[in-house]
Structure 1
Amino acid sequence: MSRTANASEKEAVRHGRQLHWSHISTDYLEYRPTYPRPFFDLLRLLGVGVPKQALLDLGCGTGALAVPLALRGAHVTGIDLSEEQIAAAQEAARRADIRINFQVASAERTGLPDHGFDAITASMCWGYFDKKKVIPEILRLLRPGGLLVIASLIWTDEGDLIAARTNELIRRHNPAFRTQPRAGGDVDLVPEWSKKHFRLRTFQSHRTTLPFTSASWRGRIRASRWIGAALSLEETAKFDREHRILLEETAAPCFDIAHDIRLQIFEVLPPA
């Protein structure tokens, strides 16, 4: 896909609805939580995001992963299909007073130099990529022994009334909504696409809690693929009004929501 294509030509399609990430760039920047500090400490112990490491963040969105990694000393490039998401990522880097090379580009066709990166990350986006195209591109971009890092941070409604009621409301407005697998379960540790060119170096899965207010939780849900990215602006506004009423009835001013963190790190195998 051309780098100069406009935003309307750059939307992913999932579960029968066209996803418009440009609709949620502001909420995404303000309300999508990044990973907690121990996650980045773990990455560093595993050789990811270390100082001066050349790192490419695919589907970088508003920089939720790219900015913290750059602040820890990595030399980060971030790419995303959405001009609005890239503009928001540039704003996030400006706020953090850090330089990051953000570009509008496809993960399957980045246009970046051969063997230019020590590590490539994909957070909350791996499922959107065409594996038959993105794997050869990753192999082209990574240096020998380079790392592919796939991560996710997803709320769970297990044992949580607020999250469960929120999920019920999401499902009423978007029947395609589905909850995520529980932490530690239903994960293909060695997926088919990895068997020829990669070896699994580590898999981590654990649960954490993140703090929210009613306003920030509403913003977080608006910034999800199931609501703000999938629904029209009018539908999103209607959902948000109902969500506000729900939270007024069920939530304290401040509360925690459980999230599952998953991390897979693959290492490129040497040529056979």
Structure 2
Amino acid sequence: MPVDFGRTARDYARYRTAFPPELFARLAAAGIGRTGQRVVDLGTGTGVLARDLAAAGCVVTGVDLAPELLDEARRQDAAAGLEVAYRVAPAEDTGLPGGVWDVVCAGQSWHWFDRERVAAEARRLLVAGGAVTICTRDYLVVPGNVCAVSEELVLAHNPGWPLAGSSGTHPEWGAELAAAGFDDVGTVCFDVDVPFTHDAWRGRMRSSNGVGASLPDAGVAAFDADLSALLRERFPEEPLMVPHRIWALIARRRRRVATGA
């Protein structure tokens, strides 16, 4: 499925929710997000993760393929009074100097990469003992809830959509990182309810890879009209309390082990 999030940059910037403070508290307990740390944020999008790390005092460079998303990131950075450097490049080949970064992170983007290549790039970028952290925030599909019926509607408009029904966890990524030269692999996982107005939920779903990033404009408009009617009929009360799973994988670049007699 061809996906271009640049086409939905405005909705993505406005309606994608931030990671909650609890995640950053847990990352800080693992030594990630400390003042002065040099951070590369892969697939930074509109800079959601990058901005929070910059606010914590990190020196952050965000990397993304979509200039439109980076334009939105810069607007939000300026509004927040924060500074993040941005670079248009693939996550698998950033062109950044190697062996000088304390943290490589990715927020809601790792599944889009060539994971073998991006793990190798993360290892190249990091100092020995540096951390890679992959963060996700996925709404949870429960039979009959607003997430489930919204995804059913996406599939009605885009039958080839392959990413419905995420569990919000990705344990296989830990094994992949271990094979790529990382150790001390651990995870963070907790659930939160996020309030959405009808308009905000429509925007969130328009920013989906199965809608705004892949359907033609007329298809997006038709989906949005159907979702608006569905919400009025089946979920009239606002705000909608939408369950989300916050999950993060943390691993360290393996230090060289001395060998010899």
Selected match of 2:30 from 40, 46, 61: 46
Selected match of 1:168 from 143, 146, 152: 152
- For residues 137 and 199 of structure 1, what CA distance do their matches in structure 2 show? 16
Structure 2: runs of 5 or more not aligned: none
SS of 2:205 mapped into structure 1 = helix
Structure 1: runs of 5 or more not aligned: 1-16
- For residues 36 and 196 of structure 1, what CA distance do their matches in structure 2 show? 29
Comparing 157-166 with 142-151, which one deviates more in the overlay?
Answer: 157-166
**Residue 13 (structure 1) aligns with:** none
Q: Percent identity?
A: 31
Q: Is the 8 A contact 1:139 1:268 kept in 2?
A: yes
Moved over 6 A (4+): none
SS of 2:172 mapped into structure 1 = coil
- For residues 189 and 204 of structure 1, what CA distance do their matches in structure 2 show? 13
* Structure 1 position 193, deviation (Å): 4.5
Paired amino acid for 1:93: D
What does 1:190-269 correspond to in 2, within 5 Å?
Answer: 190-251=174-235, 252-269=237-254
- For residues 76 and 55 of structure 2, what CA distance do their matches in structure 1 show? 12
What does 1:170-189 correspond to in 2, within 5 Å?
Answer: 170-175=154-159, 176-182=161-167, 187-188=171-172
Q: Is the 8 A contact 1:200 1:264 kept in 2?
A: no
Change (3 A) 1:50 1:193: closer
User: Does 2:76 match 1:92?
Assistant: yes
- For residues 96 and 168 of structure 2, what CA distance do their matches in structure 1 show? 35
Change (3 A) 1:242 1:48: same
Q: Is the 8 A contact 1:202 1:264 kept in 2?
A: yes
User: Does 2:108 match 1:129?
Assistant: no
- For residues 151 and 158 of structure 1, what CA distance do their matches in structure 2 show? 22
User: Does 2:12 match 1:25?
Assistant: no
Comparing 79-88 with 169-178, which one deviates more in the overlay?
Answer: 169-178
TM-score with structure 2 setting the length: 0.92
Paired amino acid for 2:13: L
Paired amino acid for 1:56: V
* Structure 1 position 40, deviation (Å): 1.3
User: Could you give the per-residue CA deviations for residues 94-128 of structure 1, whole angstroms, max 9, x where no partner exists?
Assistant: 11111110111111111111212100001111122
SS of 2:48 mapped into structure 1 = coil
User: Could you give the per-residue CA deviations for residues 11-40 of structure 1, whole angstroms, max 9, x where no partner exists?
Assistant: xxxxxx211211110001100011111111
Change (3 A) 1:77 1:196: closer
- For residues 127 and 78 of structure 1, what CA distance do their matches in structure 2 show? 17
SS of 1:60 mapped into structure 2 = coil
Paired amino acid for 1:269: R
TM-score with structure 1 setting the length: 0.89
- For residues 231 and 48 of structure 1, what CA distance do their matches in structure 2 show? 37
- For residues 191 and 229 of structure 1, what CA distance do their matches in structure 2 show? 30
SS of 1:65 mapped into structure 2 = helix
* Structure 1 position 192, deviation (Å): 3.2
User: Does 2:44 match 1:60?
Assistant: yes
